[in-house]
Each structure stands twice: as structure tokens, then as C-alpha cells.
Amino acid sequence: MRTAKEILTSHNKFYINLGLSRIEKILELLGNPQEHFKVIHVAGTNGKGSTCKLINEILIQNFTDANVKVGLFTSPHLFSYTERIKINNIDILESDFDFLVNKIDDIAKKHKIELTEFELLTAVGFYYFYIKKVEYAVVEVGLGGLYDATNVIKKPLIEAITELDLDHTQRLGSTIEEIAIQKAGIIKENSKVIFLKTNKGSNILEKIAKEKKAEIVIAPKVSVEFKDGVSYAYIDTKRCEFNLLGHHQADNLALAIGAINAIGLNINFDILQKALKFVKWPFRLEYHKENNLLIDGAHNPSGVRTLRKFLDDNFKNNKKTFVFGCLNNKDYKKMLDILLEKDDEFYFYEFNYPNALKYEELDERYKKIAKKVLTIEDIKKIIKEKQNLKVFCGSLYMLGRIFSEILI
């Protein structure tokens, strides 16, 4: 039996063939496992992972004494594929993952279904939730929405759509309107959907929701502040400690609470307090006070703007050292223009990964200011430096490569 990793990498990580026919065929052969649990479906450009994690944590805390299983399907992973498929915050076992990837890949080959990597992972996730008798599943869209493999879900409890912005424009469209249409593809007839009126493209989302006679759920008012190294959320004037940083998390939390309330689960404040204190979403404005180190997977201009605002609000007077790397299909020029200021130190990390941006591909104006990071030992020296705030940002794949070899 081949390992799951061998099979998945043979499917070509960056091969994307949008459409639902292949995933529908393989799921039908598996008995349509996605129809046997209740789904909260989340799409968006930025914040969908955080929103999924918040919904997941609130559900888990709510059902602590009820022995209810909550599944979570997200992407990408940082260190292992198994991070993408969780039940009650526990990753699928490597042995189970290997077995299911082999089983489903064999079925696909037998029936001549050419699955992409993400389609295979989606089928594995849904089948695993089914055989483990998950009751609720929080499912993050991989790319877009309309033609994403996860959009085989016919009757979600609710759809949530997070911040929209320009990303993956070669596949989803070059305008907010085109992208909004793709994201709104997860909205089903007579369903419930939640998004913020302040969201770019909200007029498109509202139009499509009304066409499909979907109920538009209003999110509660939430605010977040970062004070003395601690994040707090304010919900209905009540304050609680919040383990995720950044004002933008207020939007994600509002969507999460609104979605939970809309599906008929009356969550009391004690449950919310526990969920917000314990929720973890690695490498999303993750601050390590002891090392004066900030790690953030900002990998598009909108994400970098959020990072820059957090730095301006909370570390304006700190000199900063940036370590940055990204994939070559990202608008790195715009990201670096937003990110870097005159006195900042800038290190470019050329990480070993398919489609990673190489130092030689950098525009000359960035080469003039960039110091090239050569080894993990260089990274360790940067982290040990005491004076500056160290900001590691860019591709989650890059961050996973770095911090899989460094304990922080």
C-alpha cells in the first residue's frame, strides 16, 4: 500500500480542474457520505479558515457533555495533510488517512475518474466524517465556491461568506463582482446565508440570495482590541479574552456567532468565553511575546493590508524585520509595497516548494533592499535577535516549511 502522501503528490498539487462531475461520481460510489451529517459551509477570500475554526470551537464547547462529534474540513495544511480533516479538534490518524486515500483512489481508477488532489481530499474528508458518525461538519471551500469540490453539499444548515477580495483572478475573475458570483455559488435554494453588508460585493451576494429565496441572516455587532499583548472580544458589551488577534477577527467572529444562532443553537456567554479562550488557528497573527515574533499567513494584498494595520495599531514604534516568501502566482509587488516601510529590514526566503517565487524572479527594486535567506540556521539567528519585532509572513506553505524545523 502506498502512503497517502505518495498518492496525493502524484495528483499534482497545483493541478486545478474546477467542476463537480468527478467529485459527484466518486461520492455516489461511496454512498454519498456528505448527506449523512449537518454542514455549515464557508466561502470567502480572506478569513474563511478563521471563521470555520471559530464555528468549530463554539460547537465543540457547546456539545462537551453531549458526546456529539464535530468535523472540520479546511485547507491548506501547515505540516501534514492530516491537519485538514479533524473530529473534535483531533486530526485524522495517519493510518486511517493512508487507508482511505488508497481506498478512494483505487475506486476512482477502477471507474476511470481522474480526481484532482483537492477532490480526493474532499472525498476522504466526507467519507471519514460519515464512518465516524459525525453530526456536524464545518466545511471550508477550497477555491471559489460555485465549482469547488465541496459544493456537492445540497442542504447546508447555513452558508457563510467572509471577506471578498481579488485573489486567484486567473480562475475566479478579475473584478469583485465576478469573484462574488463565484463565492455566492455555495448559496442554495431556500437556505440561510450570512455575510456582512460591509463586504465588497455584498450587493451581488444579496441579489443572488434573493434570487434563490435564501434567508439573509444579520450578524451581531462584535469588536476586538489588542491590549498589553492580550486580545479581547466585545460581544453585546460583554468582554472576554480572545485567542485570535486583529480587528478583522471581529468580522469573522460576528459571522461565526450569527451562523450558530441562525441554526437554532442558543449559545450562552459562558460557552462563548471558553470557545474564544481556547480557539487556535496557527500562523494567523500568531504573536510570541517571549521572542517578539509575529507569524502571519498573509499571502495576498488584502491579507497584507490587514497585517499592516495590525502592526500600525499595535507596534507602530517598533523597528521591524520582515521574512517574506510566496508562490509565484501571487502579486508580490503589491504585497511588498503595502508591507515595507523605509527603516524596515527585509529578508526574502526562497523556500523549497513547487511554484515558490525565487529570488532571481524578484523585481530589481526589491533585490536592492532584500537580504536573501539561505538556510534554516539563518532563520534561527533572525529569531534570536532581540531588538526588532520579527514578522514572518507570506505563504502558509513557506511558514510550514520554516517552523516544522524550528520549535518556538
- From 251, 278, 305, give the residue that closes a domain: 278
Domain membership of residue 234 (yes or no) is yes
Final residue of a structural domain among 278, 299, 330:
278
User: Is there a single domain that holds both residue 267 and residue 294?
Assistant: no
**pLDDT single digits (tens) 201-250:** 999 999 999 999 999 999 999 999 988 778 999 998 899 999 999 888 99
Is residue 408 assigned to a domain? Answer: no
| pLDDT score for 407 | 64
pTM: 0.89
Does the pLDDT at position 193 exceed 80? Answer: yes
- Whole-number pLDDT of residue 135: 97
> What pLDDT digit, counting tens, does each position of 353-405 carry?
888 999 999 999 999 899 888 788 989 999 988 789 999 999 998 998 899 88
Q: Is 118 a domain residue?
A: yes
265 and 117 in one domain? Answer: yes
Domain boundary among 219, 244, 278: 278
Q: What string of H, E and C letters represents the secondary structure of the chain?
A: CCCHHHHHHHCCCCCCCCCCHHHHHHHHHCCCHHHHCEEEEEECCECHHHHHHHHHHHHHHHCCCCCCCEEEECCCCCCCHHHHEEECCEECCHHHHHHHHHHHHHHHHHCCCCCCHHHHHHHHHHHHHHHCCCCEEEEECCCCCCCCHHHHCCCCCEEEECECCCCCHHHHCCCHHHHHHHHHHHCCCCCEEECCCCCCCHHHHHHHHHHCCCEEECCCCEEEEEECCEEEEEECCEEEECCCCCCCHHHHHHHHHHHHHHCCCCCCHHHHHHHHHHCCCCCCCEEEHHHCEEEECCCCHHHHHHHHHHHHHHCCCCCEEEEEECECCCCHHHHHHHHCCCCCEEEEECCCCCCECCHHHCCHHHHCCEEEECCHHHHHHHHHCCCCEEEEEECHHHHHHHHCCCCC
Query: Does 50 lie in the same domain as 180?
Result: yes
Let me know if residue 225 belongs to a domain. Answer: yes
Residue 268 in domain: yes
Query: Domain tally for the chain?
Result: 2
- Domain shared by 201 and 233, yes or no: yes
pLDDT reading at 15 higher than 60 = no
* Residue 250 shares a structural domain with residue 376: no
Verify that 237 and 329 share a domain, yes or no.
no
Task: Give the whole-number percent of the chain exceeding pLDDT 90.
Answer: 69
Q: Is residue 77 part of a domain?
A: yes
Residue 18 lies in a domain: yes
- For residue 266, give the CATH number of its domain: 3.40.1190.10
Are 103 and 206 contained in the same domain?
Answer: yes
Q: Give the C-alpha separation, 354 to 150, whole Å.
A: 24
Contact (CB, 8 A) for 383 and 288: no
Q: CATH no. for residue 363?
A: 3.90.190.20
Q: Which of 254, 327, 275 is nearest to 62 (CA)?
A: 275
12, 34: one domain: yes
State residue 372's pLDDT score: 87
For residue range 37-78, what is the model confidence (pLDDT) as tens digits?
Answer: 999 999 999 899 999 999 999 999 999 878 899 999 999 898
- Same domain? For 80 and 145 the reply is yes
Q: Within 10 Å of residue 74's Cβ, how many Cβ atoms?
A: 23
Q: Is 399 domain-assigned? A: yes
Kindly state whether residues 212 and 344 are assigned to the same domain.
no
Tell me, yes or no, whether 308 and 164 share the same domain: no
Do 211 and 149 share a domain, yes or no?
Answer: yes
State the residue range of the domain holding 73: 4-278
Q: What percent of the chain has pLDDT over 70?
A: 96
